[in-house]
Amino acid sequence: MTNQPKALVAGNWKMNGLTAAITEIDSLNHKIANHPNMACELMICPPATILATAVLRAENLEIGAQDCHAALGGAHTGDVSTEMLTDLGVTAVILGHSERRADHGETSAQVAEKVVAAQRAGLVSIICVGETEAERKSGQALGVVSEQIAGSIPLDGTHADNIVVAYEPVWAIGTGLVPSVADVAEMHAHIRDLLKGMFENDGDKMRILYGGSVKGSNAAELMNVDNVNGALVGGASLKADDFFAIVEAAYL
**49, 51, 170 from 84: Cα distances, Å:** 13, 11, 30
Among 73, 143, 174, 197, binds ligand PEP (CB under 6 A): 174
**Residue 147 is among the residues annotated as catalytic for this protein:** no
- CA dist., res. 217 & res. 29, Å (int): 22
Among 64, 130, 179, 211, binds ligand PEP (CB under 6 A): 211
Contact 23, 58 (CB under 8 A): no
Q: Does 213 bind ligand PEP (CB under 6 A)?
A: yes
24, 62, 97, 190: the active-site residue: 97
Closest distance between ligand PEP and the C-beta of residue 187, in Å? 15
**167 conformational bin, left if phi > 0, alpha if psi -120 to 50, beta if neither:** beta
Q: Among residue numbers 2 through 21, which ones bind ligand PEP (CB under 6 A)?
A: 12
Is the CB of 127 or the CB of 232 nearer to ligand PEP?
232
Stretch that binds ligand PEP, among 68-76, 113-121, 132-140, 166-174 (CB under 6 A): 166-174
Q: Among residue numbers 43 through 82, which ones bind ligand PEP (CB under 6 A)?
A: none
**Residue 168 is among the residues annotated as catalytic for this protein:** yes
How many CA atoms does the CB half-sphere of 10 hold within 13 Å? 33
Q: What angle do CA 140, 106, 71 make, to 5 degrees?
A: 140
How many CB atoms neighbour CB 241 within 10 A?
13
Q: Which residues does the annotation mark as catalytic?
A: 97, 168
Footprint of ligand PEP on this chain (CB under 6 A)? 12, 168, 173-174, 211-214, 232-236
